[in-house]
Amino acid sequence: MQKLAESKILVTGGAGFIGSNLVEALLDRGSRVVCLDNFSTGKHENISSFLNNPNFTLIMGDIRNKEDCQKACKGVDYVLHEAALGSVPRSINDPATSNDVNVGGFVNMLVAARDAEVKRFVYAASSSTYGDHPALPKREEIIGRPLSPYAITKYVNELYAGVFSDIYGIETIGLRYFNVFGRRQDPDGAYAAVIPKFIRQLIRGEAPVINGDGSQSRDFTYIDNVIQINLLALLTDNPEAVNTVYNVAFGENTTLNELYGQLIALLKELELPVENIKPVYGPPRQGDIPHSLASIDKAKRLLNYNPRFNISKGLQQAIRWYYDNLK
Catalytic residue positions, numbered? 150
Contact 310, 318 (CB under 8 A): no
Instruction: Identify residue 45 by its one-letter amino acid code.
Output: E
